[in-house]
């Protein structure tokens, strides 16, 4: 306690720039009551705080006037708090080191995982580039790398399908050229041989040669027309001119045109009206009927089924032995002909291929089945076919 009032007891005196306390524990810390701080507390009539260095360590000193001329000084040691703060600081430092180590380890593991997945993606891309079109990436989780793997698989699927389609087209084109060369060679050789016979002095030989030349020229003309039609399909320039068509009347006309003397019956159930290109639909039915008459056995039945609201079916069934097992999967391919067709009837093997392309152009399909004989079924939508663009 610092006293400046005589009536309150002994007075505090200043020595070496500090007041000497007259009572209390402050006397244990002589010189720790600086004159400026104590005077400031007397003048302001409020407490003053400052830090003093004592033999016991740094102390927080609060000096305040409790009554006129009497000031009380309180000393608060900070050693305990400092010790606790030091311990807390050490613990925080240890925790920080542990967190850094654990975080670094987890970061290394995560980086290795990401690096491994990126390396897997790079290896997959190299394998795919080398021609392994079935290469795919495993999709794990829902992170960005999983999205990348999914996108890679989708891209690989599309590219693989495109490349495989191009390969099939290349093989088909090579076979197409070879088959065209073979099919053109036979009528040309026959026509050349028959042309030599036109110079024969025998009138009967000349007539026979002229008839053979005419037959081979017609065969060549039909083959060239079929080839031109196929080329239009391949180029995507085949033109469709749809209009309402009575498929029963169209089937009857196709039968009359392709097999007027054959045992062919046309039947109808339901509404036989459809929307399509009459010329191309006529070509389909005509080829199916001619195929059934030439390669099957009578009787041949053409059934127009219009009982469904959204599509119409035209089935051409013969009573022959049907298609051999090896021929059925490729019967619609170009230049494919069965053994019986090669030995019994002329033709290029393009009729069913053209029929199939015409069916697809209408948004329909052409199927083959067995029901006591070969059954070819044309299915076309009743309404106007959808167009691209």
Per residue in 69-83, pLDDT (tens digit) is 787 887 777 777 777
User: Which helix (H) or strand (E) covers residue 197, if one does?
Assistant: helix 144-197
pLDDT at residue 182, rounded to an integer: 67
pLDDT digits (tens, 9 = 90+) for 185-206: 777 777 777 777 777 777 787 7
Name the phi and psi angles at 63, rounded to 5: -115, 125
pLDDT digits (tens, 9 = 90+) for 334-366: 777 654 444 444 556 788 999 999 999 999 999
pLDDT at residue 342, rounded to an integer: 44
Q: How confident is the model at residue 307 (pLDDT cuts 50, 70, 90)?
A: very high
In this predicted model, which residue has the larger pLDDT, 216 or 155? 155
pLDDT digits (tens, 9 = 90+) for 18-38: 877 777 666 666 667 887 887
Hunting for tokens 């002095």 — which residue is that?
201
The answer to whether 42 touches 19, Cβ cutoff 8 Å, is no
Would you say domain 243-381 falls under CATH 3.10.450.710?
A: no
Instruction: CATH number for 145-235: choose from 1.10.287.130, 1.10.260.40, 3.40.50.10890, 3.20.20.210.
Output: 1.10.287.130
User: What does the mean pLDDT of the chain come to?
Assistant: 81
In this predicted model, which residue has the larger pLDDT, 228 or 389? 228
Q: What percent of the chain has pLDDT over 90?
A: 27
Write the CB contacts of 89 (distance below 8 Å, at least 6 apart in sequence). none
pLDDT at residue 164, rounded to an integer: 81
Distance between CA atoms of 92 and 211, rounded to whole angstroms?
110
Q: Where are the domains of the chain?
A: 2-77, 145-235, 243-381
The answer to whether 306 touches 312, Cβ cutoff 8 Å, is yes
pLDDT digits (tens, 9 = 90+) for 38-73: 778 777 767 888 777 776 677 777 887 777 778 788
Distance between CA atoms of 79 and 81, rounded to whole angstroms?
5
By residue count, the chain amounts to 389
The answer to whether 34 touches 16, Cβ cutoff 8 Å, is no
> Which alpha helices (DSSP H) does 30-143 contain, by range?
35-44, 79-129
* CA distance readout (Å), 82 to 49, 58, 74, 77: 19, 10, 19, 10
pLDDT digits (tens, 9 = 90+) for 87-127: 899 999 999 999 998 988 888 887 777 777 778 878 888 88
Mean pLDDT of 372-388: 81
Same fold, 145-235 and 243-381: no
In this predicted model, which residue has the larger pLDDT, 134 or 266? 266
DSSP E strands, the chain: 2-3, 14-15, 18-19, 48-54, 57-67, 70-77, 243-246, 264-270, 273-276, 300-306, 311-317, 365-370, 374-381
pLDDT digits (tens, 9 = 90+) for 124-138: 888 877 878 778 888
Name the phi and psi angles at 20, rounded to 5: -95, 125
Write the CB contacts of 190 (distance below 8 Å, at least 6 apart in sequence). 212, 216
């Amino acid at each position: 306690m610092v006293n400046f009032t005589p009536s309150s007891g002994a007075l505090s005196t200043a020595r070496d720039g500090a007041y000497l306390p007259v009572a209390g524990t402050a006397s244990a810390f002589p010189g720790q009551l600086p004159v400026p701080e104590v005077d400031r507390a007397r003048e302001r009539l409020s407490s003053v705080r400052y830090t003093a260095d004592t033999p016991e360590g740094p102390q927080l000193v609060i000096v305040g006037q409790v009554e006129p001329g009497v000031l009380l000084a309180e000393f608060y040691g900070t050693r305990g708090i400092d010790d606790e703060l030091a311990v807390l600081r050490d613990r925080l430092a240890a925790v920080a080191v542990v967190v850094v180590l654990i975080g670094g380890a987890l970061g290394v593991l995560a980086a290795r995982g990401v690096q491994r997945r990126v390396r897997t993606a790079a290896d997959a891309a190299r394998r795919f580039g080398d021609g392994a079109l079935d290469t795919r990436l495993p999709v794990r989780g829902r992170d960005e790398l999983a999205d990348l793997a999914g996108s890679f698989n989708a891209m690989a699927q599309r590219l693989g399908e495109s490349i495989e389609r191009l390969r099939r087209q290349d093989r088909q084109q090579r076979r197409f050229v070879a088959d065209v060369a073979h099919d053109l060679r036979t009528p040309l050789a026959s026509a050349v041989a028959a042309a030599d016979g036109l110079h024969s002095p025998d009138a009967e030989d000349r007539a026979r040669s002229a008839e053979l030349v005419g037959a081979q020229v017609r065969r060549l003309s039909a083959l060239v027309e079929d080839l031109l039609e196929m080329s239009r399909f391949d180029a995507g320039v085949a033109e469709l001119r749809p209009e309402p068509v009575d498929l029963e009347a169209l089937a009857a006309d196709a039968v009359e045109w392709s097999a007027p003397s054959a045992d062919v019956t046309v039947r109808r159930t339901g509404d036989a009206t459809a929307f399509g290109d009459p010329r191309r639909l006529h070509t389909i039915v005509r080829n199916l009927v001619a195929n059934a008459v030439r390669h099957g056995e009578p009787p041949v039945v053409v059934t127009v089924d219009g009982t469904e609201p959204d599509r119409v079916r035209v089935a051409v069934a013969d009573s022959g032995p049907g298609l051999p097992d090896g021929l059925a999967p490729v019967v619609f391919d170009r230049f494919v002909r069965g053994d019986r067709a090669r030995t019994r009837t002329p033709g290029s093997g393009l009729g069913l291929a053209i029929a199939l392309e015409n069916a697809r152009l209408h948004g329909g399909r052409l199927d083959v089945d067995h029901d006591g004989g070969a059954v070819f079924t044309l299915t076309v939508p009743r309404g106007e076919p959808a167009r691209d663009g």
